[in-house]
Amino acid sequence: MRLASLAVKNVLRNKFRTTLTIVGVATAIIAFVLLRTVISSWTAAVDYAAKDRIGTRHKVTFIMSLPTSLISSGVSCGTERLDHRIIEWLDRQENVDCA
């Protein structure tokens, strides 16, 4: 008896176990591909973003963003339109330059 014929007989012996194995392997491959897609699209967004953008962060949590009262049409700094209050606040900060 050869190894190939032994393997085929054992695979066909229990069809339910074979089906579960195929479904498990397929699920693992699909999950891996989907996670790699999410990670690559996440990093691609950073690579294609403007290099002179301003990132703001709340001091307590990263979920809270910049208040909308500060984001009104105002002075342009680089490619972004900024309010005068943001420009004045940035001027007071150390190591921050407006391009």
pLDDT digits (tens, 9 = 90+) for 46-91: 777 777 776 666 666 666 665 665 555 444 455 455 566 676 776 7
- 82 burial level (CB within 10 Å; 0-12, 13-18, 19+): buried
Confidence of residue 23 (pLDDT cuts 50, 70, 90): very high
pLDDT over threshold 90, residue 21: yes
Average pLDDT across the chain, whole number: 76
Q: What percent of the chain has pLDDT over 90?
A: 27
Domain ranges of the chain: 1-49, 53-99
Which amino acid is residue 4, in one-letter code? A
Give the other-Cβ count within 10 Å of 74's Cβ: 15
